[in-house]
Every structure is written in C-alpha cells, then in structure tokens.
Amino acid sequence: MTLTRRTLAATAFVAAATPVLAKPRPSRPLVIAHRGASGERPEHTLMAYRLAIEEGADYIEPDLVVTKDGTLVARHENEIAGTTDVASRPEFAGRKATRTIDGQAVTGWFSEDFTLAELKTLRARERLPALRPVSAAFDGREPIPTFQEVMALAESESRRTGRTIGVYPEMKHPTYLASIGLPIEQRLADALKAGGLNSRTAPVFVQCFEVSPLKAFRPLSRARTAQLVSAAGGPADARGINYASMITPTGLKRVAAYADGLGAEWPLIVPVVDGGLGPATSLVADAHAAGLGVHAWTVRAENAFLPPKLRRGTVPAEHGDSLALFKALYAAGVDGLFSDFPALAVAARA
C-alpha cells in the first residue's frame, strides 16, 4: 500500500462523513464486518473479508495475534485449534500445550509457538460448524492471513469498488503477549504507519478489551482507538475495575482520556427484557456526551444468539428476526455496529 493513495482515501473518507469516533457524527452508522462475513465463510480468511466487502461492509475486522517470529496474523484467539486444522497435523502434535491466558488455563496449539512459515501451512476452518454448515463447506481452502495481507486487501478493494474500505484491528491478549516477549502495540503501530494509516482521519480503528495496551498504543500512533466493554466482567489487565464502572458517565469521561470511542456489547445499548428487546439505555447518549462514539457488537442472525422473542422456530442454526435487533440499535443512535452477516446489517440500515 502506498502512503499517497491511503492519504487520498482518508481525505475522501472524511468528505463522505464516514468516520464515527470523531465529531461531527456521520450521516449513517458504519457496518463493520466481524471477522469478515464470518456467518458465511470461515472467520478471518481473505474470502470472508472479500465477501463482506461485496455485501457492502464499510470496515473489515481482523483480530490480531503474534507469531513466534513476530508477525501479526488474523486469528480470533492465539489458540488456533478451533479455527485451523492444526490438531490433525501430525508434524505439530508435539506443540500441544497448556497456557494460562488472562487467568484461565487453556490447552491447545498457540500462534506464538509457530513461525509464520509454519502457520501458512495450516488451513482455516469454521469454528461453529453445527451452527454454520454453509461456512463449514469452505473449510480447508485458505491459509491464515497476515495483517499486512488484510490491509492490502482493503487497499485493493477500495480501488476496485471506488469506496473506502477501512480496517478495524483488535489487539488480542496484549498483556499476555507482552509477558512472553511478543508485545503487540509497537508492531501494530509500525504496520499502520507502513500502510499509510497513521492519522486521525485514516480509515482505521484500533480496539482492545484491555486498558493499559490502549494507553500504551496512544503515543505510538495517531490512529483512532476504541475501548471494548462487555455486559459482564472487566479488563484482564486492570484489577478492581469492571466494565460496569467504565460505562457510567464518570467512567466514560475516564475512557475518553485515552480512547476515541466505545465498543459496547449490544445488550448494554438495547437490553433484553422479558425475552424481547427493551427500551434503549442511556449509554449512547452518555458516551456521546463524553465525546466518545459508540460501536455495538456483535449482531448475529442465528436463533442461538438472539433473544427468545426474536427466534423463529426451535432450531438453533436457523435465522431469527435479526432485522428487529439491527433496527433497534440504529434507532438507539449507534455510530456503527459489528455483524457476522454484513449484508443483513446493510439491508437493515437502508
């Protein structure tokens, strides 16, 4: 990717009023493809990202972990057995291990034990085959992409489609990675600079569930950042702090000191009440008052992920009434939302 083209794209991006974690507010919320079109293709593959772009996504989201030799790659977790064929590869049987990650013991195969060349011999597969057989039909077709390859895809697809495709990387388990000598923050900042994405108006947001890594990333890059929060628990790196305290008006002001926006689990915005969707909370208004944009995560179409009153039938894999959820979040004033099914999010927005 060239710095010149990325700079021009960023200018067009601002003119189109699509950045959402900076004022003024956009004319329409962003659709962010969660791990690509991950409801239809194995997550974090170039085919999943391509399909998401074809379906109209504004941003594609790569979760980032680090290889043994320091390369950023797109995987939901550093444990890779759930999304690749590594467990069936006899040459890597001896790499199986148990690690303590964010206080939890995890057994499997880990990205940090493989060089990039070794990881590239693996093939991606669907993580939820029982729920997503259509996606599982594409198992084994593609390798793990590097972050550089994801950025290059966004660049080439921006050129091909005539619209700017942004990237929305998440730093996964950064405190753990730093503890084993593979810190992610500087690597990510360097990658964004090399890709021409080191500016406040560049089509990129950097997200994380942890606090300290976002603070550490801040002086390394001008890219906008988002603090992720969920309906339960708290940041793995911050003892004594929970997400509930971070989304109070006072907590949001603290977040605004080091981040540009909030990535909130959708029930924090539109809660589930009596098995259906209740009235919107004040979170979006409170975040906006603190100067933060809000991106909701993650809307999925299957009954298994929807409130009871939005389900259609009793089969978990069947699609329910996700349209109602999309519309409720848009009506609540979110600046964007993540979905495994970008086409549905785009249709609901229209």
Collapsed DSSP state (helix, strand, coil) of residue 177: helix
Q: Is 173 a catalytic residue?
A: no
**What was the pLDDT predicted at 22?**
41
Task: Report all structural domains of the chain as residue ranges with CATH numbers, in order of start.
Answer: 3-78+123-349 (3.20.20.190)
Alpha-carbon distance values, 288 to 242, 256, 293, 327, 334 (Å): 21, 10, 6, 20, 10
pLDDT for res 238: 86
Angle (deg, nearest 10), helices 147-161 and 3-15: 60
Would you state the pLDDT for residue 16? 32
- Residue 197 CA to residue 208 CA, distance in Å, equals 18
Helices and strands in the chain: count of H runs, count of E runs: 13, 15
pLDDT at 130: 96
Rounded CA-CA distance 339/347 in Å is 12
The 3-state DSSP class for residue 169 equals: coil
Residue in 44, 76, 295, 319 annotated catalytic: 76
pTM of the model: 0.92
- Give residue 23's pLDDT: 44
Q: Write the CA distances from 210 to 32, 172, 215, integer angstroms.
A: 20, 9, 9
Both tokens of 116, joined, read: 């990039």
**CB atoms inside a 10 Å sphere around CB 239:** 7
* Residue pLDDT tens, the chain, 350 long: 333 333 333 333 333 333 344 444 556 999 999 999 999 999 999 999 999 999 999 999 999 999 999 999 999 999 999 999 999 999 999 999 999 999 999 999 999 999 999 999 999 999 999 999 999 999 999 999 999 999 999 999 999 999 999 999 999 999 999 999 999 999 999 999 999 999 999 999 999 999 999 999 999 999 999 999 999 999 999 888 999 999 999 999 999 999 999 999 999 999 999 999 999 999 999 999 999 999 999 999 999 999 999 999 999 999 999 999 999 999 999 999 999 999 999 999 99
Catalytic residue among 34, 44, 173, 319: 34
Q: Which two tokens stand for residue 36?
A: 């690509």
Contacts of 21 (CB under 8 A, 6+ apart): 205, 224, 226, 260, 261, 292, 293, 295, 335
For residue 302, the model assigns a pLDDT of 98
pLDDT for residue 27 = 67
